[in-house]
Each structure stands twice: as C-alpha cells, then as structure tokens.
Structure 1
Amino acid sequence: MRKPAVSVLLPFSNDAEYLDGALESLSCQTMEDFEVLMVDDGSFDGSKAIAADRCRSDGRFRILRNTGIGLVDALNSGLSECLGEWVARMDADDVCEPGRLDEQLREAMARGPGTVVTCRVRCFPEDGITDGYRSYEEWINSLVSPEEIQRNIFVESPVPHPTAFYHRERVISEGGYMERILPEDYELWLRLWSRGYRFSRVPLVLLRWRDRPDRFSRHSPAYSLTNFYRLKARYLRYVPCMAGRRVFVAGGGQTARRLGKCLQENGFFIEAFLVPGPPGSRSRLRGRPVLDTSVLENRRGIPVVIASREPGARKRIADLLTGMGLREWHDFLACA
C-alpha cells in the first residue's frame, strides 16, 4: 500500500451530526498526499455509514474499528495503523481550513521530528462560546515560538489536541498515549517536553474548533482541574530549578490549595504559601505557613510556583517577582 506523507488520525464516536463537515474539510485540502484514518469508537448513531460513504467517494479515507474501549485505545490503535511519516490529529466535530496540512507539514519539515507543530484556532459557533473558552483561545493563539510555548507549558495545555501534528514513529517510540493518565493529550505534551521535544505554532488559523455543551472534556472527571494539577506536579521535577522539590507557592486560594496538595503528593516540600500583603486570618494552608511575598527578599534560592486562576493574577505576581530581580524559569514558574 502506498505510504502518504501525512496521516490524519480522526477517532469518532456517535458524531453523525458533525462528521460529514469535518471529512469534507479534509477532502478539500490543498495538499493531496495524505490519508485519513477514521477510528470508529463504538458508534451506533449512523456515524459509521457517513464514514463509509466518504471512503467510497474519496480513496484517501479508510475506517478502522477500535478493538479497545474509549478514546485512548482508539488513538493508539489508529496511531499504530497510520501509514504516513507525519500524523495530524483531528476531531470529528471540527473543521480544517484548506491549507492546514500543507502549512503544518512545511513547519514540521523545517523544525524536524523532535518538534510537535500546532496552529492557531478559531472557536465556533460564535453564539455558544463561553468566556473561559474565548480566553483560552486568545491565550493559545498568542503563543507562537518554541520559547513562548515552553515558558507557558505548565500554565495550561498550549496545544489543543485536534491541532497537533507530529512525527509518528517518534511519538510511538515515546510510548504513545497513556491509558490511565488523563487528560491524555496534555500528559503526552508534558512527557515529550520532559524528553527534550519542542513545540511550534504556525501563526495562522488552520482549525475551526467547535465548542459544544456536551463536549466530553467539559463533563468527564478525567478532565477535571485536579487531574491537570496532578500532571503538572508530576512533571515539574523535570524543570531544572525545581529539581530540589522545595518550593514556595504564590497564591492563597483554591487553586494554590489544590495544586499544593498535588505537589505534596509528588514529593515536593512547600516552604510556604505566599500572598501579597499580610495574610490576614489565614496563617496556614495545607499545613504550611501563609506569608507575605516580601519574605522572598531574604529567601533566595527556593523557586516559586505561581498558582492563581484569578483574572490578571498570574501577570501581577510575575511582575512582582520580576521586580525583585527573579527570573522566570530560573527562580519562578507559572502553573496556573
């Protein structure tokens, strides 16, 4: 069988309402040397018939049945069957711009197999987008260079999964998607980052990313904030300044408390939680003292983890620490 340059890996599960639009956007790509591997994850709503129709009308499409259960099994099954050197991820309810594969392949070839390539997105439909999702869209689109993406990799996942474009054999050699560690995409990005991989974003909107009320990541416990914090705590030890596992946590709210718990569970010792100004009535959090950030003037050498999701708080804290002469990724790191 002929091997295309790119395999589009597209799992689907009861996506009949949106699947044809996603497939049509792939049929209309300006690039021709690709295949689309559609992995049926137990659909019973007519999705498989839509996929089969596309296979009959466009020979670049084929269907694989997921022999396991759930998205991670579908992804790994598909990854093992992809024929292309490069893999582009795609979800069944999103829409690619015509130049997506061309643009991402060009960037991947320029950067090499040690780089995961992403792109800018535009969320849709406009009338259904939450403020939080819009803020996330603006944030990821603002990060373009490998340096910008790495600097922010512990804030949130900087690579929306359906925008990912990576070297198939490299990702398989690093273990593919992990079955029991969710969210599976963010875990993969952190694992690749910890092993020296880089990330780059094509500065063009190449994917229209659907936000819908029943989106799996909105409702599944697997994608809870706590699971994101667990992943961050697990991989923070690979940041050179965090190797000693002794940290300050900047923040005194729920985010700091949750992340602090995950840090402690992963062997970190929290010197103290830091807040600007007097801590007020709260003197301890997670068994550790709550102190004014001014203590850092005399406590250099212990890195600071920024943990606050309040609007603007991350920048305010980072500016405060920078004003003290501390350097990002040397003396402090944003994790929320």
Structure 2
Amino acid sequence: MCNKLVSVVMCCYNEEIQWVKKSIESLINQEYKNLEIIIVNDNPDNLDIISLLTRYLKIDRRIKVLFNNKNIGLVKSLNKALLECNGEYIARMDADDVSKLNRIKKQVEFMEKNNEVGLVMSYANFIDEFDNKIGEQRNTPIKFEQIKKILMYKNVAVHPTWLFRKSILSKLKRYNECMYVEDYEFLCRAIINGIILETLPEFLLDYRVRKTSICNSNRLFQQINFQTINKSYIAALKGKPYCILENFDSNNLKNLKYLKFTQDNIYRGKVLINEKKYIKGSILIFFNVIGNRYKINQLINEIKYRMNLKFLNNNFT
C-alpha cells in the first residue's frame, strides 16, 4: 500500500469553533495516516480559534499552524501554506467542512493507479450549519474531456474535495488573486497547461453551506470575475494566449461602478417596498435584476451547462 506523504492545506477565519474541531478531527482520524496538516489562521483577533489550534499542536505532531499577524485573505493564506508543503500530494480542506475518514486513502489510491492525472476531485454532500444533509453535488463531470468542456460554462468543482500532485505547481506556481473564483481560475490554468483533471465519483466530503459564506453583495462581483476568467479560458482553448494575469483586475473601476449602481438601485427598491410603495419598488428591483448583463450571461451559461451535461455523461461514461 502507498505511504507517500500528503500535505493537507486549510485556512481559518471566522468559522464556528465546533466546525473547526470537526474539520480537524476528520483529518487526524483519517485511515491514511501519513499526513502533514498545515493550517493558516488568518484572523489574529479570533482568540477562540487561536486557542483551539494551539491545543491541537500539542495533540498531534502532524499539525503545523501558521498564525498570520494580520488578515491577508484566503488566496495569500493558501499560497503561504503551499510553500510549507512537503508532501508528494496536496489536499485542500476548509475549516467548516468534514472529510470522510477514507477520503485521503481513496484519492491517493486513485492517483497511484492513474499516473497521468494531476488533480482529482470528488462528489460532496451539502450540509447546513447544524450538520443536516440538505443536498448533494454529483454533477461534477468525471472524465477530463467532460471537465474541460463544462468549465466553459460553469465551475462545478467543490474546492475542498481536491487532491493534486505537488509536481503540478512547477507549472502553476500558486493560486492567482482572483477574488471569489481563485479555484475556478486554478482549474482553467491547469487545463491550459496540459494537466489532466478527473473526478472520483464517490461522496468523500461534507460541504457546509453557510448563510454568510458569500454575502449577497459579493455574488455579482463573483460573477463579474468568473466571466473575465471564462473569456480568457475559452480564448486559450482556441489557441490564443491565456493572458489572465495581464488582463484580470478585481478592482476594475468600471465594474465597481456598475456593481455599486446595481446594488444601490436594488436597495432603493427594497426601501420603497418597506415604505409600502410596492409597485415602484418592485419595478426598480425587477429591471435592475433582469437588466443585469452579468446575470443574463450567468443564465445563458447555466442553460448551456444543462444542455451539455446530459450529452457529456452519455458519451464519456
């Protein structure tokens, strides 16, 4: 049986203590034992998490904690952790999710049998803030050609299900600063660099859906950034240069102005409704949602994704 070192990368910020504890416990109790668990605390003011992580340092020598002196964000924290990884494989994990106890074993076995694959994902169960199962993510395409095609329309990969070979970082280096879509950009860049991605069709993670995970005010910004990367990805598949590093600007002034305009109008509509001016408020919200070009593009991509998924599943399984 393979016993190669696996580095697990996790970041903490504002998660509930009981969630962080369950997440860490699901790692230290893995059937696959040869792990190093690298945790970055990105909230120096969260004394409860700091205290918990300090206790775990004493419990399990496989755990290493990096304490940020100030909040630097998820992407920088992930890249900081990647620099500390010594394993031949690197697994992602979030501090509020729970890995099945056979997760790492299953994924390593898959990678050992499929030497051409650089990154493997899995299916995931969705759980709420009280650990109740509320759904499943089983629409992640399985084969590489499926994934390559579907990423033209949508990101269906659950980030904390990933396990990849450390060697792919010789081409990819790190996560890029793409706010709210750094995982999607990583996958697009991997494909463009000739890295094979596949999905192990087993439920190996409980993914927690939190009401505050991405607040509504960031959803439009996420969609703007997705479409910026998406255009570059599709162009690269057609043989054009992948120039996301030169073109991507998450602080693009034009997009920020558009975002603020849309949000302000939706807020005004809600105020009008609260003032019992239902017709005016509803009209204002309706036209700012329906007239939102990013929402329209999102809807078009969702339709294309649904149309292609059935075809791909029938032809590549």
| TM-score, with length taken from structure 2 | 0.70
Separation in 2 of the partners of 1:315 and 1:120?
Answer: 18
Check conservation: 2:180, 2:222, Cα contact below 8 A: no
1:139 aligns with 2:142: no
CA distance in 2, matches of 1:194, 1:234: 10
Instruction: Report the CA distance between 1:4 and its aligned residue.
Output: 5.9
What is the rounded CA distance, in whole Å, between the counterparts of 1:107 and 1:19 in structure 2? Answer: 27
Give the deviation of 1:166 after TM superposition: 0.9
Note if 1:80 corresponds to 2:83. Answer: yes
CA contact (8 A) 1:145 1:201 kept: yes
**Counterparts of 1:312 and 1:77 in 2: how far apart (Å)?**
34
Indicate yes or no: 2:58 matched with 1:56: yes
- Could you tell me whether the CA contact under 8 Å between 1:14 and 1:44 is conserved in 2? no
By how many angstroms is 1:187 displaced?
A: 0.7
Could you list the per-position Cα deviations for residues 63-101 of structure 1 after superposition, in whole angstroms to 9, with x for gaps in the alignment?
112367111110010000011111000000000000000
Distance 1:120 1:56, change over 3 A: same
Structure 2: which amino acid aligns with 1:59?
A: R
Change (3 A) 1:315 1:58: closer
CA contact (8 A) 1:41 1:66 kept: yes
After superposition, the C-alpha distances for 1:3-49 in whole angstroms (9 at most, x for unaligned) are 96100001111322410010011111001111100111124231121
Cα distance, 1:53–1:311 mapped onto 2, change above 3 Å: same
Please list, as runs of the form range in 1=range in 2, the aligned pairs for 1:84-103 lying within 5 A after superposition.
84-103=87-106
More helix by share: 2
CA contact (8 A) 2:7 2:36 kept: yes
- How many aligned residue pairs are there? 255
Contact 2:153 2:302 in 1 (8 A): no
- CA spacing shift, 1:311–1:155, aligned 2, 3 Å: closer
Structure-2 residue corresponding to 1:175:
173
* Aligned counterparts of 2:308 and 2:28: Cα–Cα separation in 1: 45
1:206-253 superposed Cα distances (whole Å, 9 cap, x missing partner): 00000010103765368521211111011111223x759xxxxxxxxx
For residues 112 and 223 of structure 1, what CA distance do their matches in structure 2 show?
37
Residue 229 of structure 2 aligns to a residue whose secondary structure is: helix
Give the corresponding residue for 1:44.
45
Distance 1:73 1:116 in 2: 21
C-alpha RMSD of matched pairs (Å): 3.5
1:217-232 to 2 correspondences below 5 Å: 219-220=217-218, 224-232=222-230
Give per-residue Cα distances to partners, 1:169-199, cap 9 Å, x unaligned: 3225422111256511111110111111121
Structure 1 residue runs of 5 or longer lacking an equivalent are 245-257, 259-284, 286-305, 323-327, 329-336
Deviation at 1:155, TM superposition (A): 2.0
Q: Report the more deviating stretch, 163-172 or 17-26.
A: 163-172
- Is contact 2:154-2:302 (8 Å) kept? no
Q: Gaps (5+ residues) in structure 2?
A: 242-254, 256-290, 313-317
Question: Structure 1 residues 13, 209: closer, same or farther in 2, change over 3 A?
Answer: same
SS of corresponding position for 1:26: helix
Shift of 1:139: 2.2
Say whether 1:7 aligns with 2:7. Answer: yes
Of structures 1 and 2, the one with the larger relative CO (CA 8 A, separation 6+) is 2
Q: Distance in 1 between matches of 2:156 and 2:119?
A: 11
1:10–1:39 CA contact under 8 A, matched in 2: yes
Amino acid of the residue matched to residue 227 of structure 1? Answer: N
Any conservation in 2 of the 1:66–1:73 contact (CA below 8 Å)? no
8 Å contact kept, 1:308–1:314? no
**What is the CA-CA distance between 1:138 and the residue it aligns to?**
3.8
More strand by proportion, 1 or 2? 1
In structure 1, what is the equivalent of residue 304 of structure 2?
314
Aligned to 2:20: 19
1:310 Cα offset (Å): 6.5
The answer (yes or no) to whether the contact 2:150–2:305 under 8 Å persists in 1 is no
Judge conservation of contact 2:178–2:185 (CA < 8 Å) in 1: no
**Identical aligned residues as a percent:** 24
- State the SS of the aligned residue for 1:216: coil
Q: Distance in 2 between matches of 1:226 and 1:38?
A: 30
Which residue in the other structure is 1:164 paired with?
162
* Partners of 1:181 and 1:204 in 2: CA distance: 29
